[in-house]
Amino acid sequence: MDFPRRDFIKKTGLLTGGLLLHHELLEAFAAPAAMGKLKIGIIGCGDRGKGLLKVLQELPDKFEVVALCDDLPFRLQEAQKIMPGGKAKPYADYQALLDSRTVEAVIISVPLNLHFQVAKDALAAGKQIYLEKTMTYDIPQALELVRLAQRRPNQTLQVGHQYRYSPLYYRVKEMIKQGYLGKVTQIDCRWDRNGSWRRPVPEPGLERKINWRMYREYSGGLAAELLSHQMDFINWAFDTHADEVFGTGGIDYYKDGRETYDNVQVMARYAQEGMVGNFGATCGNARDGYLFKLKGTKGTISLLVNEGIYYPEKETVKQYGTVDGVTGATKITWNKDGGIPITTGAEPLKDGSWYALNDFYRAVSEKKMPDSNVITGARAACTVHLANQAIYNHTIEKWRPEYNLS
């Protein structure tokens, strides 16, 4: 995208000034509760469920937690301790929670293999649904859940790809649209850690229930639990999907009986966009942590969860100038590496789940589709499933026409 130098000077406000976000989402962040408190229950009180419970308590004008469910008593007790006054009714059986007329909406944060069945039952029970990522365990479930959700247009189904709900990621999406990167050809993603990813087990019989992420019967491994966020952002930001997926990996360090790999690498070809996406994760080194780089002919964006830097290519700087010396231009702050920090206003960024739950409330109250919805969730779930097939079967997986949903 070409634009005159004076327009470049104005457009640099996208990096340092006014926030260009989905206007309805901005209004949802600031607006008072439009329909009163949404009575919500949490199904699955592990680490993620308890984390979302804490975020819900930061939004007391929009949500009232009225029910908690987990089939492990100690987890249910931990969640109850987070709730002041013990107001939320405890359940060991999620079907009993869904039968409650008090519960209007549910957060589903159970192991991945249970996502589809619990979401299907919640739709049948008439509930509004916030379903944790990855949306489903496999492609057939993703396609079926889309069909089920589309039959119930008055019910919201939002998928918990919360990181891209940060204002930073909306801004980056807008920068891509405005042509700051030029033609993007390469995207490099990592999400590394140095640890076993295991949870403590109070008794041996609970190993597979607590450490479900380690076992392929229940889990999509690193691709589903970590890399799905970045895969989802690429799909959303470019309105695209991977056409071919390659992958490899292994249990290369933790020889502890796990089945899902502790070291994976995936490469995806986005033929429609002319891009290659590289996705890697390891449990054996934390130096890089979370990295996300989008590389185009005019510049690069380097992202962390809550920080972003734009690095213009040399020809881009030469063509448009460095801005600082131009009369009337917005002053650009360059870092020592020649990058421009991408800022989002004076307020520090909140956890992505805070923004995501605000959008969930907006979607339910206005009966509008959330930004992370059953269609985008299915596209990400299909990508993850193709990645895992490529990793475990040593194959090249291809996107099929039936995965194109709208």
39-61: b (≥16 Cβ within 10 Å) or e: bbbbbbbbebbbebbebbeebee
Beta-carbon contacts of residue 368 (< 8 Å; ≥ 6 apart) = 24, 362
Query: pLDDT confidence of 1, banded at 50, 70, 90?
Result: very low
CA distances from 110 to 209, 310, 379 (A): 10, 37, 20
pLDDT at residue 315, rounded to an integer = 87
Strand partners, 43: 69, 108
How many Cβ atoms sit within 10 Å of the Cβ of residue 20?
A: 17
What is the tens place of the pLDDT at every residue in 338-396? 788 988 776 889 999 999 999 999 999 999 999 999 999 999 999 999 999 999 999 99
> What percent of the chain has pLDDT above 90?
81
What is the tens place of the pLDDT at every residue in 180-221? 999 999 999 999 999 999 999 999 999 999 999 999 999 999
Between CA 80 and CA 65 the distance in angstroms is: 11
Q: Provide the residue ranges of all domains of the chain, joining segments of one domain with +.
A: 19-163, 166-346+375-403
Phi, psi torsion values for 59, nearest 5 degrees = -125, 55
Query: pLDDT confidence of 330, banded at 50, 70, 90?
Result: very low
| Both structure tokens of 404 | 């194109």
Give the range among 106-115, 175-184, 344-353 with minimum mean pLDDT. Answer: 344-353
CA distances from 206 to 74, 200, 203, 219 (A): 12, 10, 6, 16
Give the range among 3-17, 66-80, 324-338 with minimum mean pLDDT. Answer: 3-17
Query: pLDDT confidence of 84, banded at 50, 70, 90?
Result: confident
Assigned CATH class of 19-163: alpha beta
* Bigger pLDDT: 397 vs 20: 397
Taking 80 as the threshold, does the pLDDT of residue 21 lie above it? no
| Both structure tokens of 158 | 């939002």
Beta-carbon contacts of residue 195 (< 8 Å; ≥ 6 apart) = 283, 286
pLDDT at residue 30, rounded to an integer = 53
Query: pLDDT confidence of 324, banded at 50, 70, 90?
Result: very low
Indicate the CATH number of 166-346+375-403 among 1.10.530.10, 3.30.360.10, 3.30.565.10, 1.10.3720.10. Answer: 3.30.360.10
Between CA 37 and CA 397 the distance in angstroms is: 45
* Bigger pLDDT: 261 vs 335: 261
Q: For residue 12, say if its preceding peptide bond is cis, omega within 30 degrees of 0.
A: no
pLDDT at residue 10, rounded to an integer = 46
pLDDT at residue 15, rounded to an integer = 58
